[in-house]
Amino acid sequence: MSFDVSNFVPTPESIPPAQVSYQQKQLVGLPVNIHPLNPFPFILRAALVYPNKIALAHPDVEYPVFYTYSVWAQRIQNLAYALIQAGIRPGDRVAVIAPNSPLIADAHFGVLAARAILTAINTRLTPQEVAYILDHSGSKLILVDRDCMHLVQGSSIPIIVSHDTGRPNDPYEDFLRAGRKFSAEKGWAGLDVEPDENAGAILCYTSGTTGRPKGVLTTLRGSYLAAVANVVEGQINRDSTYLWIVPMFHAAGWTFPWASVLACATQLTIRTIDYPLIWKHFLHSGVTHYCGAPTVQIGIVNDPAAAPLPNPISAIIAGAAPTAHLIGQLEQKGITPVHVYGLTWTYGPFTRCYDQPFWKDLPLDQRAKLMARQGQSFATAQEVRVVYPPKHDGDQELVDVPKDGRTIGEIITRGNIVMKEYFRDPEATRKAFRGGYFSTGDLAVMHPDGVVAIMDRSKDIIISGGENASSLAIEQELASHPHVLEVSVVARPHHKWGERPMAFVILRPEYTPQWTGKHDSFGEELKKHGRKRLPGFACPEWVEVVEELPKTSTGKIVKTSLRARVAKL
């Protein structure tokens, strides 16, 4: 790692007292051998063990900051006291709206230290959507980045703005200073400890395709155990540097804010997905781990700044299966792809495609097919099952599909790595927890080796001539065409077959000129390519070459937009 920290001076309030103690207030009434699981105190241990290590680096802004563990811990403590002074009480919700930056990293610890719940809001939403979430969550305070102010304008809830400077006179720094003053140096021992490990931790609103967003509430215990799993699965340690690409507002950044601290690693935040910047850090900042959806990974490996890496990097991939082409490109760059699967409802990843020793001898194409599967339970997750869909409303019976790699059912799971509930929506919670399991809504098969492979989201399945065609499976095959950079497939109504697949394709830059003005010819070629690989009912009937695909903030393709476009054809 080689950050130039020489020009950075933390604010006076960020400096812990000389005789700092990381001891928490003693919880009374619990047995000696029980301490409630909670991920926030990871910071106390890290600050005790590695006080002078860089915990959080935020270098690519006008005012870069580099917080050591001892300084960051003090700032988190200040935030907790500032929140309490602002009237935040146990169980209250505090909202944060920010790109990846110290503000939102702080919030994942400081809000929990104040025994409150963090409402992490997607920065790509509209002001109306944000207003709905603030109202539904009953958030009592908003921590907002300077660039997200337009989302909360007119709100009657108190707002603390961060200009992302870490310097005096930044309103957020004023807030922290007030917290330090209010604490009267009572320190960590002055903060009450949350006695209930099943209390709420993070509240994330998921924007469904229909209806209002729903609030997914997680617990302290689940956050702790999911973070543990990410350390174990990712083999993160004190020599690791985690680069933030996935937004922290997305499923608590898959619990990596806490996992990185449990491992005493360094976190590096960048405000936007900027491929040359990512490569700068890959090459010069000692990055060892990052997470991202395949579409982001495609951007990374195809960026002109790509160069041989000084050290191996683990790419944790979720959101969709990586293609053979992408896996090959990542490996060629010295990046090890780790394919995981998860949802906001499961604290991010809860399964992993565990590669078997013999895979390394297989040709890339075969290996990629195996690696594209969603895998098996994470270290601290419970079993993953694939069951037949409910026969009628209220059906609680769960029957596993055969382990044949063919029969499609729905992925369900339960246990510590599942959300607590939909906030203030017991009816939706009841529906999501059919038969004592959480229903993911993802359609999958179970392979004979116990590996789950997603076929599609239930709404993305294409019913073509009465057959179920998996849009994902079609995409996987079309993506193997050497001229295809990205592809997305949705159903389009068909007079004879009911539905037929339509493919939207982005060409690789080097092949774009060749097909200019000849998109129809390319479409024919791609359909021919598909016919060699797919059953007839799954072959795309239409191909459209596009310059970009609609995507969410986490890089997932928004199929509802494509379907809306198809509806107008």
424 binds a second copy (CB under 8 A): no
Binding mask 335-374 for a second copy (x = CB under 8 A): -------------------x-xx-----------------
100 binds a second copy (CB under 8 A): no
2 binds a second copy (CB under 8 A): no
396 binds a second copy (CB under 8 A): no
Cα–Cα dist 541/527, whole Å: 8
Cα–Cα dist 547/179, whole Å: 49
The smaller minimum CB distance to a second copy, of residues 256 and 438, is found at: 438
Q: Pick from 123, 219, 267, 323 the residue near a second copy by CB under 8 A.
A: 219
Q: Pick from 3, 10, 11, 22 the residue near a second copy by CB under 8 A.
A: 22
The smaller minimum CB distance to a second copy, of residues 163 and 385, is found at: 385
Cα–Cα dist 41/193, whole Å: 10
231 binds a second copy (CB under 8 A): yes
Closest CA to 175 of 34, 252, 81: 81
Q: Pick from 2, 7, 33, 128 the residue near a second copy by CB under 8 A.
A: 33
43 binds a second copy (CB under 8 A): no
Sign of CA dihedral 349, 354, 360, 366: negative
- Region at 290 (left for phi over 0; alpha for psi -120 to 50; beta for the rest): beta
Q: State the minimum distance, in angstroms, from the CB of residue 99 to a second copy.
A: 30
Cα–Cα dist 174/218, whole Å: 30
CA distances from 514 to 436, 507, 517, 522 (A): 55, 10, 9, 10
23 binds a second copy (CB under 8 A): yes
230 binds a second copy (CB under 8 A): no
The smaller minimum CB distance to a second copy, of residues 415 and 550, is found at: 415
Q: Tell me whether residue 406 is exposed, middle or buried, using C-beta atoms within 10 angstroms of its C-beta: 0 to 12, 13 to 18, 19 or more.
A: exposed
The smaller minimum CB distance to a second copy, of residues 135 and 185, is found at: 185
- Of 90-98, 131-139, 388-396, 429-437, the window that binds a second copy (rule: CB under 8 A) is 429-437
Give residues 240-279 in contact with a second copy (rule: CB under 8 A).
Answer: 262-263
Read off the amino acid at residue 495: H
Q: State the minimum distance, in angstroms, from the CB of residue 414 to a second copy.
A: 5
Q: Which residue has the tokens 């073509």?
A: 464
Q: Pick from 266, 416, 464, 488 the residue near a second copy by CB under 8 A.
A: 416
Q: State the minimum distance, in angstroms, from the CB of residue 219 to a second copy.
A: 7
Cα–Cα dist 95/137, whole Å: 9
* Number of residues engaging a second copy in binding (CB under 8 A): 54
The smaller minimum CB distance to a second copy, of residues 49 and 564, is found at: 49
- Count Cα atoms within 13 angstroms, Cβ side, for 258: 31
What one-character-per-residue DSSP string does 408-458 give? -EEEEE-STTS--EETT-HHHHHHHTGGGSEEEEEEEEE-TTS-EEEEEEG
- Of 56-64, 74-82, 231-239, 320-328, the window that binds a second copy (rule: CB under 8 A) is 231-239
311 binds a second copy (CB under 8 A): no
Closest CA to 209 of 560, 516, 529: 560
The smaller minimum CB distance to a second copy, of residues 179 and 222, is found at: 222
Is the separation of the CB atoms in 198 and 220 below 8 Å? yes
Q: How many residues does the chain have?
A: 569
- Of 105-113, 200-208, 214-222, 461-469, the window that binds a second copy (rule: CB under 8 A) is 214-222
Is the separation of the CB atoms in 438 and 412 below 8 Å? yes
Label residues 195-211 b or e (16+ Cβ within 10 Å = b). Answer: bebebbbbbbbebeeee
- For a second copy, the binding residues (CB under 8 A) are 19, 22-24, 26, 28, 31-35, 37, 45, 48-51, 53, 198, 219, 221-222, 228, 231-232, 235, 237-238, 262-263, 354, 356-357, 376-377, 379-380, 382-383, 385, 400, 403, 414-416, 418-420, 433, 436-438, 449-450
